Amino acid sequence: MLELHVTKRLGAVHVAAELACPSQGVVALFGRSGAGKTSLVNMLAGLLRPDSGRIALRDAVLFDSASGIDLPPERRRIGYVFQEGRLFPHMRVRENLLYGWRRAPADERRIRLAEVVDLLGLETLLERRPGALSGGEKQRVALGRALLANPRLLLMDEPLASLDQARKQEVLPFVERLRDDLDLPIVYVSHAMEEIVRLADTLVLVSDGRVVASGSVEEMTSRLDLRPLTGRYEAGTVIAATVAGHDPRDDLSDLAFAGGLLTVPRLDLPVGTHLRLRIRARDVALSLERPRGLSIQNVFPATVVDIGEEEGAQLDVRLDVEGAALWARITGRAKRQLALAPGTRIYALVKSAALDRHALGRQPAGGRFLAPGSKLNGA
Amino acid sequence: MLELSAAEISALQLSLQVGVWSVLGSLLPALAVAWLLARRNFPGKLLLDGLVHLPLVVPPVVVGYLLLVLLGRNGPLGRLLDAWFGLTVAFTWQGAAIAAAVMGFPLIVRAMRLSLEAVDTRLEAAARTLGAPRWEVFATVTLPLMAPGVLTGAILGFARALGEFGATITFVSNIPGETRTLPLALYTFTQTPDGEVAALRLAVISVVLALLALGASELLARRLQRRLSA
């Protein structure tokens, strides 16, 4: 368990956050810049002292203003990957990597240099100096350095934010490997929903220094009341699915989810692989009757659950597809013409092209956190 | 002609000795003061800042005189030094080193403070999350990163010590073999009839010495810079 309830005055922002979540898997802190996400992780790391409150990780109390406990950062054993890397410029990559490892208690050194070098692909960088590394390489080294300190919790503060799209795609798979191969809880700060959907199990929404809501990524992205915070343009739901089969002739794959089979462009993944899909509201259309003669392949019977406020000319409709939540973005006129209301039976049309690899993320399988070296279930 | 006379060798040796000891003795206190000024806020900070910089702005003779009053045989600190360590600094080369150290101190502190202020405290925070306590962070991250500033400060202090004249002659006088450093020897020759050639030779020696120190510091600084940026 990770418990945190803290208050802190920081200029105009008054942080007053309460959070209790499983210290397992990836917990994402999501919010606009200036919402107080970084302040929260700095308080976890011991770099920022709360005015009052309590922070505990598993059975260790890190901070408690009532009993005067305030462990210094070096004794918290919490790894931190910063947005800007923060590698030591006067040390080679190897020395950077070993900085925390040398200072970790000998009996807690589970992760070794060779493993991290292997996991993050750092062989060729070891003798270089940070000044000679690219942005993506720097972040990989920073990641390795934090891991080698053998922390009990890993904080990642927008580790990809300073990278361009190509570098992001270079580093993201390494973060995924770390999530899947190591039994290390991660708190991941981001304002990019894509990254969160791909990486996180638990989503914590932060706004104005407060924790507004927290829960599983699937649940949180389907809640209408949180839409102003999760972002309108990015609006969409996350659903869990499994690779059900491939059609090599048409280069398509079938994915099974609660609402049926979804056809997408061929995925290079074995049958049985768990996936997480993000379906954007603007990629879902509605029809009162089962359409015929339509290019859209994915049609699901659904029930209207909820209808959002009209913003501009558009509004979002929340659908239930056999237990899976879907959003559709339609115009206000379409809503009136179709006479939509909660309970209306309807057909949801999902463009298969909307499900690109970008939106893929592995589903949190029970067997995700394995001892290093063992294989993933079904992968 | 190129051979150095005994008096010249003595002055040269004495200058080097005074320069090295004044710098070595200043480094730690200067580091402490630079750290206080760069990183801490405390009542009296402005006063400390002013006090440290005083030798830069008052005439050296005044500094020498104050040292004489404080550290002379009958001065309050001089008596303590005598009673505790049996040490007399007035009119000795140690006194010359102290005078040079006091005069060079603001230069050393300034260089160190600037380089310390340029050290990214976020790197220090990162080091602490990696398990290093404060003092270890200072030794392994802060100090190596401010090394160019420490070097610059040391060279400046050393150069200042080689050129020190006013405070030295006031505090420890002009005793051959004991306190007669290069500038004092040069001054002595200018006061002697037919001393022009000897004075010129000492001037050349001083210039060469200064150039050597500058060259050495430049080489070291480049090596440090390469380590930091490459």
Q: Is the CB of A131 less than 8 angstroms away from the CB of B127?
A: no
| Residue A9 belongs to some domain of the structure | yes
* CB within 8 Å: A73 and B122: no
Is the CB of B129 less than 8 angstroms away from the CB of A45? Answer: yes
What CATH number is associated with residue A337? 2.40.50.100
Best probe of the B interface among A62, A74, A75, A153, by most B CBs < 10 A, is A74
Selected residue with higher pLDDT from B134 and A108: B134
Give contacts of A89 with chain B, Cβ < 8 Å.
123, 145, 228-229
- Tell me: do A298 and A241 sit in the same domain: yes
Q: What is the CATH number of the domain that holds A169?
A: 3.40.50.300
What single string gives the DSSP state of each residue in A283-345? Answer: GEEEESS---S-S--EEEEEEEEEEPPPBTTEEEEEEEETTEEEEEEEEHHHHHHHT--TT-E
Spell out which residues of chain A touch residue B135, defining contact as CB-CB under 8 Å. Answer: none
pLDDT at A237: 78
Query: Is residue A142 domain-resident?
Result: yes
Total count of domains within chain A: 2
Q: What's the rounded Cα separation, in Å, for the pair B92 and B172?
A: 6
> For residue A373, is it within any domain?
no
- In a mutagenesis test of the B interface, which of A82, A90, A95 is the best target, namely the one with the most B β-carbons within 10 Å? A90
Report CA A243 to chain centroid distance, whole Å. 21
Cβ of B229 within 8 Å of Cβ of A131? The answer is yes
Q: How far is B45 from chain A (nearest CA, A)?
A: 25
How far, CA to CA in Å, does A96 sit from each of A87, A90, A102, A332, B129?
7, 9, 10, 57, 13
Q: Please report the pLDDT score of residue B54 as a whole number.
A: 93
Closest chain A residue to B130, measured at CA: A100
CB contact under 8 A, A77 and B131: yes
B229 interaction partners in chain A (CB closer than 8 Å): 89, 129, 131
B227·A90 Cβ contact <8 A = yes
Element (H, E) at A27: strand A26-30
Domain residue ranges of chain B, discontinuous segments joined by +: 6-229
Chain center to CA of B95: 13
Alpha-carbon gap: B132 to the closest alpha carbon of chain A (Å): 6
**pLDDT, block means (10 residues), chain A with 379 residues:** 88 85 85 86 94 91 93 94 92 95 89 88 92 89 93 91 79 78 86 80 88 83 71 67 87 86 83 80 86 83 87 84 86 88 90 56 41 32
Residue type, A259: G
Asked if B129 and A131 come within 8 Å (Cβ–Cβ), the reply is: no
Whole-number Å distance between alpha carbons of B130 and A143:
12
* Domain match, A338 and A287 both: yes
Q: Cβ(A203)–Cβ(A26) under 8 Å?
A: no
Q: What confidence category does residue B63 fall into, taking pLDDT thresholds of 50, 70 and 90?
A: very high
Question: Which of these, A20, A145, A25, A28, lies nearest to A80 by C-alpha position?
Answer: A145
Residue among B125, B130, B228 whose CB faces A149 most closely: B130
Residue A134 lies in a domain: yes
State residue A300 phi and psi, 5-degree precision. Answer: -130, 135
Within a domain: residue A158? Answer: yes
Q: Is A231 helix (H, G, I), strand (E, B) or coil?
A: coil
Tell whether A53 and A168 lie within a shared domain: yes
Cβ within 8 Å, pair A88-B133: no
The answer to whether B167 and B44 are in contact (CB under 8 A) is no
Q: Do B126 and A149 touch (CB under 8 A)?
A: no
A117 shares its domain with A86? yes
Question: What does each C-alpha distance from A371 to A109, A179, A378, B145, B180 come to in angstroms?
Answer: 14, 12, 16, 39, 74
- The predicted model gives B47-76 an average pLDDT of 92
ipTM of the complex: 0.82
Do residues A212 and A251 share a domain? no
Q: Is residue A49 part of a domain?
A: yes
Which chain B residues are closer than 8 Å to A149 by Cβ?
Answer: 129-131
How far does A126 lie from chain B, in Å, by closest CA? 14
Tokens of A16: 């007053």
CA-only gyration radius of chain A, Å: 23
When scoring A70, A71, A97, A103 by the number of chain B Cβ atoms within 10 A, the one with the most, hence best to mutate, is A103
Chain position carrying tokens 């002055």: B11
Cross-chain Cβ contact A80/B126 below 8 Å: yes
Judging contacts by C-beta atoms under 8 Å, the chain B residues touching residue A100 are 129-131
Question: Quick one: A243 and A304 in the same domain?
Answer: yes
* Same domain as A215, residue A257: no
Mark out the alpha helices in chain B (DSSP H runs). 6-39, 45-57, 60-71, 76-85, 93-118, 121-129, 134-137, 143-145, 147-163, 166-172, 182-190, 196-229
Within this chain, do residues A262 and A117 fall inside the same structural domain, yes or no? Answer: no
Q: List the structure tokens of A3.
A: 């418990």
Specify whether A241 is located in the same domain as A225: no
What is the span of the domain harbouring residue A249?
Answer: 236-359
CATH number of this structure's domain B6-229, picked from the four choices 3.40.1360.10, 3.30.70.100, 1.10.3720.10, 3.40.50.300: 1.10.3720.10
CB contact under 8 A, A88 and B123: yes
* Residue A301 belongs to some domain of the structure: yes
Q: How many angstroms separate the most distant Cα atoms in chain B?
A: 70
Determine the pLDDT at residue B225: 77
Residues of B in contact with A129 (CB under 8 A): 227, 229-230
Cβ-contact A148, A113 below 8 angstroms = yes
Same domain? For A143 and A221 the reply is yes
- Residue ending a domain, among A178, A209, A229, is A229
**A222 with A244, same domain?**
no
Residues on A contacting B at a C-beta cutoff of 8 Å: 45-47, 72-74, 76-80, 82, 84, 86, 88-90, 99-100, 103-104, 129, 131-132, 145-146, 149
Query: Does a structural domain hold residue A109?
Result: yes
Count the alpha carbons within 13 Å of B69 in the hemisphere toward its beta carbon: 6
Residues of B within 8 A of A103 (CB-CB) are 130-132, 136
Q: Among A40-54, A319-333, B32-46, B123-137, where is mean pLDDT lowest? A: A319-333
Of A74, A89, A131, which is closest to B128 when you measure between CB atoms?
Answer: A74
Residue A42 sits in the same domain as residue A67: yes
Q: How far apart are CA A272 and CA A243, in angstroms?
A: 5
Q: Which whole-number Å values give the CA distances from A368 to A186, A235, A364, A378, B160, in the listed order?
A: 14, 27, 6, 11, 66
pLDDT of residue A376: 31
